[in-house]
Amino acid sequence: MDHRLHHLGRLLQVLLIVGLIQQSCARHVRVLNARSAAGTLRRLHSISAADTTLEAETAAAGVQDSIITDRYIVAIDSSGDASTAAVALVEEVRAALRTAGAGAAAAAAAAAVAPDADIEVLKVGQAAAAADTGAAAAAAGAAARAATLVLRASPAAMQHVRASARVKAVVQDRYVRAQARGLSQASPACVTASAMRSGVSRPAADVKAPLVNAFTTLGCNVQNAKFVWKGRFCRGSTSSINFTEVAAVDRFTNAALRTSKGALCRLVRGPNPSVNAQRFGNCNAAPVVAAGLPVRVCGATGGNSNLGGVGTTPMGLVLPRVPLQPNEQVPSGVSLIEAAIGGSVGNIKLGKTVVVAVVDSGVDAMHPDLNYVGGKGFVIPSTAVPGDSADPASDLYGHGTHVAGIVGAENDNSGLVGVAPGVGIYSLKILDAQGVGSLSDAMDAVTWAAGAEGQAAGIRVINLSLAAAVDPAAADYADTLALVCDAFKRASNAGIIVAAAAGNYGADIRGYLPAACPTVIAVTSMDPAAGAASSFSNFLAEPASAAEKGSVMSAPGNAINSTISYAREQSGYRELSGTSMASPHIAGVAAACIASGACAEPTGYANSAVLQAAARERLGQQPAYGYSNDARSTGTGKFYGNLVWAKW
């Protein structure tokens, strides 16, 4: 009997081990199948972002929506090669996973299959020498270095990662999203500026009954009529149409129709907003009775005769000015901050060499209005958008090309001009074709720009028109800020001025990265037409320290016309709004400041103080410069900063 029980016990033990091995193998096979289907886990995250409609401008600002599940940014001590340090950490964690659990059976089963499914290194980046290394260690030639890894790991694996003596900090990786409004929709229909003024027509069969009834009430016979809408540019816009009247004409002869009393069959805007919306629509909105009517002017030649602000002639180190070419359009933002004054713009090509890195969705290198000088890809393309790629010279989303045009569209007698016309644009692509990327890729791009290759490329300014949500009340907020902002501090120490979108969520800047980083200029948005802060713009919540306020500036962000990729729109130009559009205004001003020699401080952050001083100088010269919610405003609890001035 004892002999049979002994054999039965051995049999149960074997079955238990076999079962555990099968479970582990099944899990391993599932992971391999997932990799085969999706390529990498990072690609899976990209698909997830598409499937759950986490597109840049439509996603909620919630912190949980920003977290990339099972993906972490890890800082480890590394006295040598970063890749070697990463391998050592992974081996340590896998060994701990093999021996974890209860009993020899679990250990034996775990030993049969390496727990690759529990931890994977997605990326290794080598940081600069740690700031707290100390002189003694440096003198000894054994300065500790901090390597930054991006890991995909299970909760069990992360317990061992956090417990490792090699690890200095662990934070969750996050989605970053472009901060533009209106880009997720297809490009609305457009017409030429002359057609807007002469009239856009629709046959009676294509309009809804309320309009036909309104003309019939006037005494007009519209049985064989077509309706013609005329309009003008919306206030503060060089693209959006505001229709002001609609007339009935003969659909065969185009002759104006008249009532039985001889009056023209014509309706104009009146005092009733709902009737106006029905008959004429609003800015960027077609009339209810004719939903397909174009609401914008195609291209950049919208009949804008604006020659720039009146301005004042700055003294000191400034760029030589050249005439604005006759066929150039001056966008409202460029005019407002006085980058174009009295028919002239600064010639940045005659100053010190400056290149602006656009960390974004790529830049259309074939756009004739841009001085594209190079690029590097960091993004994993979206599998949800056919043709998406990591090519930095390609921009299916269109956002990066729009940002680049605000920074430096050429003064070449066609299209429009940017803040620093003709400045070199270097594309660092981290957003996919849906405007979504990762915070770790943004850090990687900035670190590269601050390194030897980026400096050799001449990068002196970085623009990031994107944001990732973080929770200032979370236990890991300080660690997240310290680890992420270290990359931007290194860029500043390399002499690079960094500008970032404050965010479009009407919330405190402290909850969004990289705008919350101390060495980054957090750019809020103001509305040129309203002369006030944009309704969507983030802000710095009061109370705030002088140092925090010193990192916040404002620029135009509503209805900004700029270049866009031809893959996104055939005309090559489009009007967008957002803090995404505000930030590159400051990047362009920073480029001009460096090119002129006025921004000659050793760090980027110190040079940002030069921009702040110039904004205050302009307010001193002309108190009307600025807007109603700028830094002079008190008692609102919201600090938006001063309007940047293109002094150079």
CB 45 within 8 A of CB 150: no
Show the low-confidence residues of the chain (pLDDT under 70). Answer: 1-64, 101-117, 126-145, 185-188, 301-316
The contacts of residue 306 (CB under 8 Å, 6+ apart) are 238, 329, 330, 332, 335
Catalytic, 399? Answer yes
Name the token pair of 561: 């016309």
> What homologous superfamily is domain 321-639 in, according to CATH?
Peptidase S8/S53 domain (3.40.50.200)
374: β partners: 426
Cα separation, 283 vs 235, whole angstroms: 9
SS3 assignment for 582-636: HHHHHHHHHHHHHHHCCCCCCCHHHHHHHHHHHHHHHHHHCCCCCCCCCCCCCCC
Cα separation, 641 vs 552, whole angstroms: 5
Question: Is the torsion defined by CA of 641, 647, 492, 503 positive or negative?
Answer: positive
Q: Is 219 left (phi over 0), alpha (psi -120 to 50) or beta?
A: left
Name the token pair of 149: 């890894």
Beta-strand relationship, 355-360 and 424-429: parallel
Cα separation, 400 vs 359, whole angstroms: 8
What are the pLDDT digits (tens) for 471-529? 999 999 999 999 999 999 999 999 999 999 999 999 999 999 999 999 999 999 999 99
| Neighbour tally for 123: CB within 10 Å | 17
**Catalytic entry in 45, 399, 402, 585:** 399
Name the token pair of 306: 């604006």
The contacts of residue 24 (CB under 8 Å, 6+ apart) are 109, 110, 112, 113, 115
**Catalytic entry in 360, 369, 432, 527:** 360
* Residue-level pLDDT at 233: 84
Cα separation, 625 vs 572, whole angstroms: 32
Half-sphere exposure of 269 (CA within 13 A, CB side): 14
Cα separation, 213 vs 224, whole angstroms: 14
* Residue-level pLDDT at 53: 30
* Residue-level pLDDT at 492: 98
Catalytic, 360? Answer yes
Catalytic, 580? Answer yes
Select from 402, 362, 341, 320 the least CA-distant residue to 583.
Answer: 402
Beta-strand relationship, 167-178 and 466-469: antiparallel
CA 168 to chain centre: 30
Cα separation, 48 vs 54, whole angstroms: 8
Name the token pair of 148: 């930054």
**Catalytic entry in 66, 382, 551, 580:** 580
In the chain, domain spans: 17-129+144-171, 193-297, 321-639
The contacts of residue 517 (CB under 8 Å, 6+ apart) are 481, 484, 485, 488, 489, 500
Largest CA distance in the chain: 118
